[in-house]
Amino acid sequence: MTANARFSLMIHGGAGPFAHVTDASAAARYIDGARAVVEQGRAMLSAGASALDTVEACAALLEDDPAFNAGRGSVLNELGAIEMDAAIMDGATLAAGAVAGVHNIANPIRLARRVMQDTEHLLLIADGAMRFAEQCGIAQVADDALVTPDAIAEFEAYQRSRGESPRFGTIGAVARDVYGTLAAATSTGGMTGKRVGRVGDSPIVGAGVYADNASCAVSATGRGEDFMRIVMAHTIAAHIEFAGMDAAGATQAGIERLRKRTQGQGGVIVIDHMGRCASAHTTARMVCGWIEHGGKTQIRF
């Protein structure tokens, strides 16, 4: 097997704000969580799993971890309720599935996969997405099981601050499997205090998620409005497909554009069609983990 035929995997758990992380023990929660997910992804990809199955599984694990803003651990909207968005994309076919404004679902990424596989549509929202979940037999959970004490504390702090510094964040995974196919997945609870019905970049193909074997797989995290305005994920893919850049160059070019055009807050993870990994962020921190070409696990926070 050549180096480029080996698998690559990247995951992220958001790009802030992580102002509350002031010591190593607080950071360990995020670092250990990211490492556990990368190792699960390694086990799958090294056994020959597809990139699509792997990013779905990694995203579901991150959704299950209450440290991260997706699934259990989602932040709360202006009414103190959960509304989640998620999307998944297959780089071999450009097939994609997405859901927005869902609740009572432990793993929105699995519902997004069903939209991709079992409907002729790409994006289902709110009541329609919930109706589809029921038709698929996806178990509903009480939202109380998804709301964490941290999410409640952040919501109360947001209310006291009259809307300053809302917490945002996302989880995501991108992979290139041993067959050379790319896939991407992104899932989020959005932003603390967001308006009811607000949808961010995570379920929008080309903004918060993208995968195309001709270029790269991208998952974004941050203030979604900034990412949608410059169609961030596809901007990075276009630098690779049309300008011949590698993952590192295209990621830097994308982040520079985000910074200059929208003063955007957030970051991205990227694997290009050769399996090269890159990440960048405009915030103080982003938690991410990766394996390039089947090598050592790397974690950065």
Q: Is 60 exposed, middle or buried (0-12, 13-18, 19+ CB in 10 A)?
A: buried
Q: What is the DSSP letter of 143?
A: G
Joined tokens for residue 159: 């209310």
Least distance (Å) from ligand GLY to the CB of residue 15?
A: 9
The residue (of 73 and 208) whose beta carbon lies closer to ligand GLY is: 208
The answer to whether the beta carbons of residues 10 and 34 sit under 8 Å apart is no
Nearer residue to ligand GLY within complex by CB, 8 or 69: 69
Contact between 202 and 71 (Cβ < 8 Å): no
Other residues' Cβ atoms within 10 Å of the Cβ of residue 98? 29
Our CA dihedral for 52, 54, 55, 58, rounded to 10 degrees, sits at: 160
Nearest distance in Å: CB 170, ligand GLY: 4
How far CA 204 is from CA of 88, 199, 215, 224, in Å, comes to 10, 9, 18, 10
Selection from 74, 67, 61, 71 nearest residue 9 by Cα: 61
Q: Of the two residues 70 and 183, which places its CB atom closer to ligand GLY in the complex?
A: 70
Shorter beta-carbon distance to ligand GLY: residue 6 or 223: 223
Task: State the DSSP string of 202-224.
Answer: TTSBTTTEEE-TTSEEEEEEE-H
Nearer to ligand GLY, 54 or 221 (CB): 221
Evaluate whether 67 touches 30 at the Cβ level (below 8 Å). Answer: yes
Residue 292, phi then psi, degrees to nearest 5: -105, 125
Question: Of 68 and 168, which has the nearer Cβ to ligand GLY?
Answer: 168
What residues are labeled active site? 170
- Smallest gap from residue 100 Cβ to ligand GLY (A): 10
The residues of the shown chain that bind ligand GLY, judged by CB under 6 A, are 168, 170, 188, 190-191, 200-202, 208, 221-224
DSSP code of 284? S
